[in-house]
Amino acid sequence: MQIYANLTIRQKHIIWAWAFLALPVLFYGIIRFYPTGNAFLISFQDWNLLGKRTWTGWDNYIKLWNDPVFWKVFKNTFAYLLIGTPISLFLSFLIAYHLDKLRFMHGFLRMLYFLPFMTSAVAMAWVWRWFYQGVPIGLFNNMLASIGIPQIEFLNSTTNALPAVLAPAVWAGLGFQVIIFMAGLRAIPTSYYEAAKIDGVGWFTILTQITIPLLRPTIVFIVVFSSIGFLRIFDHVFNMTTNNPGGPLNATKPLVLMIYDTAFNGFDMGYASAQTVVLFLILLVVSLIQLRLLRSD
Amino acid sequence: MTATDLRPTAAVLDQSAASKPKNMGQILRWVLLFLGGIMMIMPIAYMISTSLKWPHEVYNVNLIPEEPTIENYTYVLEDGRFYLWFMNSIIIAVITTISNLLFDSLVGYTLCKFKFPGRQIVFIAILSTLMIPTEMLVIPWYLMSQSFGWLDSYWGIMFPGLMTAFGTFLMKQFFESVPDDFLEAARIDGLNELQIWWIVAMPLVKPALAALAIFVFLGNWTAFLWPLIVTNSVEMYTIPVGLSGFGDEADVAWELIMTGAAISTIPTLIVFLIFQRFIIRGVVMAGLKG
């Protein structure tokens, strides 16, 4: 205690700071950094969990490159991104733009749109899975049947399954994006709108010349946030296709499901790790593009 | 009203120039948004409605059950598994939330308010973990859990999420707004650093703590991939893992699956309806600052 009392304030601060950080630093080292390194290492090994770990160099990556399933999965993963992101961006902006102009029961309407964000993906995947069943079970086909439209194959069709799995993912994320867009809209100084009004500018010009340019940071954030979400899609796909993982002919299989299958059904840890490294690189590129876009402001 | 609502918005400007066609436009806008909103909650509404239907009515498209029954809930709860999974999820989400509130804020506070050698390195190291997707870590975590005997245990489910870089940065941002003078005054009053953090600084960032609590709780309540991997006995499942397996069992009726889905969703919906304004403000704060 005597020693502590003789320290300068600065030295005491250093001791406190490291005392506070000791456990967290240990945590980040053991639970984040060590496993990250380990994932890279295992991706260069052949290991089925029981047998010996052997070094195989780039074999797992070469196998991946030559695996037709991987390219199918790669295409699906980007299909989720390229269909899901524009649709959710457009819908959430449309809703936020108009909701921002309303005062009557504003909070109630906002709640309706936000509610799906509070649900669990697994629960909602099962609800939508039921919706998609054929007559006489599924809600959608029952509704179609009642107005005399022939039934549609959703989850069992190679073309419709991916959009069908994507729909609840877009639906669940919409509320969050609406809220973020509304915050972005509120942050635009009203003086801009007033000036435009005095100049007699039409709503479309205001939208394209003032609102959208000033919302750029918000738009970039939402695009990146939802892109990363769609690239990592798993819960919905897994639960909507448990009877046929990855859908008919892998029509809905995303990268994370392939990783899960390879690692925990096939126990090919090295091959699965190589897939996770690829996922990491894809996400890294998306994040770097975001940084680039934000910098140029 | 939230603070941002005090500002005049586009709506106020519209009203000042209100004329007949403008009002018609506003009414149309309201009606369309209302219909859109109703469509948004339809899946939730059908889930709850179906969970209250008798089997013979399940495949009718009517939303309001003709003879509502809680039979499905009685059946599912008497089965006992949902009760177990529900409790597992609660225990895991609560402990993880408390851990994040304590550690994320302590680390955020230290990085924000202390000058010490190594600060920049720790900061960048934690920041860089944001770049690493969970999916990349699940295999090493599984191997780690296997060798330490953490598989199929609460600790095994919880350990990856006990601290998060996201929470740390959220808290760091909010501690920036706590004046150093306050901390200095407390120092002169003879409080030690732990007391200053806990007694002086923490109460000043309560809104941020609440936002973080909501995010961490919701994230853990709905977490699926890691609990699916790390658990293998039915008694250790969390509610999403349990529901997923339950739905997959042969011959499980849809109304029972909907009941299970409702059981896993209704708690978060109730929390949301109670703390709505608060949660939305938290989402904005976390989204924009985090």
Whole-number pLDDT of residue A297: 55
Interface test with B, best of A93, A109, A126 (most B CBs within 10 A): A126
Whole-number pLDDT of residue B2: 42
Interface test with B, best of A14, A93, A119, A237 (most B CBs within 10 A): A119
Encoded tokens for B110 = 């230290």
Q: Alpha-carbon torsion A106, A109, A115, A116, what sign?
A: negative
Q: Which of B8, B110, B283 sits opposite A179 (nearest CB)?
A: B283
Encoded tokens for A27 = 């945590």
Encoded tokens for A60 = 């797992």
Q: B211-243, pLDDT tens digit by residue?
A: 899 889 999 999 999 999 999 999 999 999 999
> Is B136 a residue whose pLDDT tops 90?
yes
Whole-number pLDDT of residue B61: 80
- Token look-up 């959710």 returns A88
> What mean pLDDT value characterizes chain B?
88
Residues 6+ apart with CB under 8 A from A114: A175, A176, A178, A179, B272, B280
Q: A235-290, pLDDT tens digit by residue?
A: 999 999 887 777 888 889 999 999 999 999 999 999 999 999 999 999 999 888 87
- Residue B6: pLDDT band with limits 50, 70, 90: very low
Q: B98-127, pLDDT tens digit by residue?
A: 999 999 999 999 999 998 888 999 999 998
Q: B242-260, pLDDT tens digit by residue?
A: 999 998 887 788 899 999 9
Question: d(Cα A135, Cα A46) in Å, to the nearest integer?
Answer: 47
- Residue B139: pLDDT band with limits 50, 70, 90: very high
Domains of chain A plus CATH, in order, are 2-42 (no CATH), 60-295 (1.10.3720.10)
> Is A57 a residue whose pLDDT tops 50?
yes
- The whole model's pTM is what? 0.89
Q: A114-149, pLDDT tens digit by residue?
A: 999 999 999 999 999 999 988 888 888 888 888 888
Whole-number pLDDT of residue B4: 44
- Helices within chain B (DSSP H only): 10-16, 20-51, 71-79, 81-113, 119-128, 134-148, 154-158, 165-175, 180-188, 193-195, 202-204, 206-222, 225-230, 239-248, 254-274, 276-289
A14 touches chain B (CB under 8 A): yes
Asked if A84 and A226 count as a contact pair (C-beta separation under 8 A), the reply is yes
Count other C-beta atoms under 10 Å from residue B189's C-beta: 10
Can you tell me the mean pLDDT for B261-289? 84
- CA-based nearest distance A192→chain B, Å: 11
